Amino acid sequence: MMATDTGFAARLGPWVAVIAWLFAILLVLMIAVGASLDQAVSGFFNGAFGGRNSAYLMTTIGRSALIIGMALAVLISFRAGLYNIGGEGQLVVGGIVAALVGIYLPGPGPMVLAVGILAAMAAASLWAVLAGALQVYLGVPLLIGSLLLNYPARYISSYLVGHPFRDVAAGLPQTHMVPQGAWIPNFPGTRLDMGIILVLLAAVFTIVYAYRTVPGYRTRMNGLAPDFARASGLPVKRLVFQTLAMSGAIAGLVGAIAVFGVHYRFSDGMLVQPLYAWTGIIAVLMVGMVPWAVPLSGFFFAAVQTGAAGMERTAGIPKEIGLIMQAAIILFVASRLAVVNLAGSARGEGNDDRA
């Protein structure tokens, strides 16, 4: 009992420090751009949680659905010790496939939606498995392979929406719209699409998979101690592919939700610019890969982003300040992780002689 209590306090401490620092940084930045403090603060909170009929809150929730989805994709692979940071590429592959299926597959709307989501998941899954194959068969570390595969995904999608599948009349590099029948419906009376339900289902699936199933157990052991998993005869190669396939599938699902629920089409950069994938990684690292906390941190980061947009609207503070804050958070997370790692290895040394 004692140990968990001190553990909790120890976990809380850095958070308080992080938030204090963030406010300090924010203050300095606002003074630098000459904005008034209370305007900025009210703009931030209104932008994140307010709006007429809570419209901005719905935007925040909608955005957090995508961030949480990407965070789940990260979580499932990171917990297995697989540093798949190619979420962005997998997301884009899922998005473009979802849009093309949505536009070109004939049939009733719900069927198109269902096929579009499944196709997006399958395609993104393959993209992730490709990074795994590079590691297993060619020795390209996953961290590098998955990162580099982001670029072809991004540029191939740019080409596809810029040329063969372009909605020429729109003038922008984007596809036509998917038919309205295939849209993910909004919650009645709101502007929030029901995609978040799919994300929550994915979250439940991820948690049940991680803690209750045999492959989840194997994956977890492989993540905690790869040498142990190998020496115990676990099918480690298969686990790599299996885990990456699931991670990619979730990223593909997020891409499909963005297409069918938010934008109704694929436009160049729409999944890259908002940094969903990277924010998802940070959201996972921020809470030390604890699954139940991931939705909370995903929501937190969505609020930082929409709040920053609100500050820009009301107080004229550039929303890049939101990005700067996010970058500051990354730095704090990085330093905290370093401290945790050091503490962990120091503890490991003394371990053997304690009762």
- Residue numbers of the site for other proteins (CB under 8 A)? 1-3, 6, 212-215, 217-218, 220-221, 224-225, 227-235, 347-355
Q: Which residues are registered as beta bridge partners of 186?
A: 193
- Return d(Cα 59, Cα 22) in angstroms, integer: 23
Single-letter amino acid code for the residue at 158: S
- Return d(Cα 100, Cα 115) in angstroms, integer: 11
DSSP state of 172: S
CB nearer other proteins, residue 191 or residue 237: 237
CB nearer other proteins, residue 38 or residue 227: 227
Nearest-approach distance from CB 318 to other proteins, in angstroms: 43
Nearest-approach distance from CB 143 to other proteins, in angstroms: 21
CB nearer other proteins, residue 38 or residue 349: 349
- Return d(Cα 70, Cα 72) in angstroms, integer: 5
Nearest-approach distance from CB 342 to other proteins, in angstroms: 13
Nearest-approach distance from CB 337 to other proteins, in angstroms: 15
Pick from 280, 298, 258: which is nearest to 71 by CA? Answer: 280
Pick from 95, 89, 96, 94: which is nearest to 149 by CA? Answer: 89
CB nearer other proteins, residue 180 or residue 351: 351
C-alpha to C-alpha distances, 317 to 38, 59, 119, 354, nearest whole angstrom: 12, 19, 41, 55
Neighbours of 104 (CB within 10 A): 12
Please, what is the Cα angle at 202 between 284 and 116, to 5 degrees? 120
Q: How many CA atoms lie within 13 A of 161 on its CB side?
A: 28
CB nearer other proteins, residue 13 or residue 181: 13
CB nearer other proteins, residue 24 or residue 204: 204
Asked if 40 and 319 count as a contact pair (C-beta separation under 8 A), the reply is no
Helix, strand or coil, per DSSP, at residue 231: helix
Nearest-approach distance from CB 351 to other proteins, in angstroms: 6
CB nearer other proteins, residue 171 or residue 344: 344
Nearest-approach distance from CB 354 to other proteins, in angstroms: 6
CB nearer other proteins, residue 27 or residue 225: 225
CB nearer other proteins, residue 189 or residue 350: 350
- Return d(Cα 272, Cα 254) in angstroms, integer: 13
Q: Which residues are registered as beta bridge partners of 267?
A: 174
First to last CA, the chain: 17
Nearest-approach distance from CB 232 to other proteins, in angstroms: 4
Nearest-approach distance from CB 218 to other proteins, in angstroms: 7
- Return d(Cα 249, Cα 243) in angstroms, integer: 10
Q: How far is CA 49 from the centre of its chain?
A: 20
Asked if 298 and 71 count as a contact pair (C-beta separation under 8 A), the reply is yes
